[in-house]
Amino acid sequence: MIYDDIQRAIDTGAIIEIAYTKYDGTASIRRLSDVQYSEEYGNTHIQAFCHKRDEQRTFKISRISRVTFINSPEAAADQSVLINPTNVKIPYRFDRSKRVFELYGIDYNS
């Protein structure tokens, strides 16, 4: 079942969530995208972008106890993307001496 789900994720490009146990027994839940078989280890491991670690990681398939499909490209195209503006941080120092169009390069008088 796990191997079938992994193959489906590879074939469809789906985002998945896995329950994973490291070699030392530490368990975690990982959200993965761009899943593929490992170039280094073959079909016993997968490589994917891990959203928890924010980088490409390798996972041994035999240590995965659960696979949940978060979405597939087809489902993602049908869903609206919600952005929470409270999480957006833009480094900008406001300069009260400048007019708005000088800040943004737009001439509002035209």
Question: Looking at residue 36, which CATH number applies to its domain?
Answer: 2.30.30.520
Confidence of residue 29 (pLDDT cuts 50, 70, 90): very high
Domain-embedded: residue 31: yes
Q: Which domain holds residue 16?
A: 2-79
pTM: 0.64
Domain-embedded: residue 105: no
Domain-embedded: residue 69: yes
Domain-embedded: residue 86: no
Range of lowest pLDDT (18-32, 51-65, 84-98): 84-98
| Per-residue pLDDT reduced to its tens digit, 73-105 | 544 444 444 444 555 555 556 566 666 555 555
Closest CA to 6 of 55, 59, 82: 59
Domain-embedded: residue 40: yes
* Structural domain count of the chain: 1
Alpha helices in 1-81 (DSSP H): 2-12, 73-78
